[in-house]
Amino acid sequence: MIMTVSTTNNLKFFILMWMAWGFALKAWSANWIELQGSENPAVETIRLYGFVQPTWISSASGELPVGPFAGKKPVFNSVGPDFKSSSGFQLMRARLGARGWVHGAKGRANFNLLTEWGDNAITSSHHGPIVVDASLTLHRDSGWKIRIGQFKYPGSEEGMLPIFKHPFISYTNVTSQLLLERFFDEVGATAGSENAANGPIGAFRDQGIEVFYNFERMRKKHTAAIMVGNGNGIGRGDNNNDKDLYLFWASEGNRGEDAKWKWSLWSQWGHRSLSQTHYERRRSGVGVFLEKDRWLTGWEWIWGRGVIFDGTDGGARPGESDGVGGVASNNVLPEEEAQGGYLSIGYSIEQNWRGFFRYDIYERGLLLDSNFKRFQTLALSLEHLYSQNVRLVLNYEFRKAEAPRLANTHAANRILSEMKDRLSLQSVVYF
């Protein structure tokens, strides 16, 4: 794991904050590896399920103050997946699936199929619906399970948490930039090319085989998982001869009748092909999650090494012209390091209302001063549980970005100072 002076200071902050709440709290997460791909033995029929997330997002657009794209709109104040506007309505997600036991193999084999129909970075490259989950889980008498196909890989809690359960509309900076993988052919900065993603965003999924085991020891529940995957996202096969390896461990338990806790530790290793060269990609993280009475809290810290997404040229929207033949490109740092984490605290105000506070920090490009950027966001969320399957979520994000190893007057800091706050409203309908 990567450990720097900056890392140590940030970890101290997160640990102290967690300790301040930990004596009164206990875990708000669950065994997502088991729940998202396995079936309850009591289930008798194949079930249809899904959810929709109509969303409105708004941010002041601003203009890039310097650089070859001065006067253009910044990408970080724009709404994906096309980044053409700084505000608007969209059907962010619309997913429909089916799951159940394989006919004639109840208790031994179940399947999960999920499709995406919304307007997002999964469907934008296909201009239509795409399969996001398609897995078969085999149940062994020994308690081990084997999952084959395309599914969520074991890793970060924020990535494994079902998206319709998220109390925040946007992911944290560290999860969005370091884990929510985009796939490119080049490292970027190629004249005349935006270096567009060559397929759907990874959506925390891979194609491969996973072996996992749930067991109890000393009144605690544990989950161990190992997976081998293509490392090339969803909807396609491997693009090189290298496979990704995923390792995961989690433990959870109770302390009293209403206090729950969970901690997890995970790592991923693989390679990516960029500009016809193979580069290492490593990710690892640790998290602690607690729940007691009306309180919920979660804490994660994540490290990355090798291939690191590095935004766009001059902060411009991908494909933006500079007027003299240049085009803003998506960029990748092929041999760098990054780190970040978040602290989330929630409270159930009444039976149907919940409020959340989340602070997250992400430091990108740790090895070179010219690459180093720091992103910080304080997000506030108000959630109304309209009914058992309908939620309304209102978010406000105070956002800040800087290049602290460079002078305040440097072009990078002048560009990043244009990052604006963001307001979001979303309805979540699950069935």
Identify the pLDDT of residue 234. 94
Cα Rg, the chain, nearest whole Å: 21
Please give the C-alpha separations between residue 419 and each of 176, 370, 371, 383, in angstroms, as whole numbers: 16, 19, 18, 25
Angle ∠(269,152,147) on CA atoms, nearest 5: 95
Identify the pLDDT of residue 23. 37
Identify the pLDDT of residue 329. 94
Please give the C-alpha separations between residue 284 and each of 249, 269, 270, 338, 370, in angstroms, as whole numbers: 12, 9, 12, 11, 24
10-residue block means of pLDDT along the chain (431 residues)?
Answer: 51 49 47 89 90 96 94 95 93 96 92 96 87 96 93 96 94 97 88 86 97 90 96 91 96 80 96 93 96 92 98 94 90 97 94 95 97 98 94 98 97 97 97 92
Q: How far apart are CA 294 and CA 292, in angstroms?
A: 6
Contact between 49 and 162 under an 8 Å Cβ cutoff? The reply is: no
Identify the pLDDT of residue 389. 93
Identify the pLDDT of residue 323. 85
Identify the pLDDT of residue 176. 97
Structure tokens at 407: 């002078």
Identify the pLDDT of residue 10. 63
261 closest CA partner among 250, 253, 273: 253
Q: How far apart are CA 425 and CA 154, in angstroms?
A: 29
Domains of the chain, CATH where assigned? 5-430 (2.40.160.10)
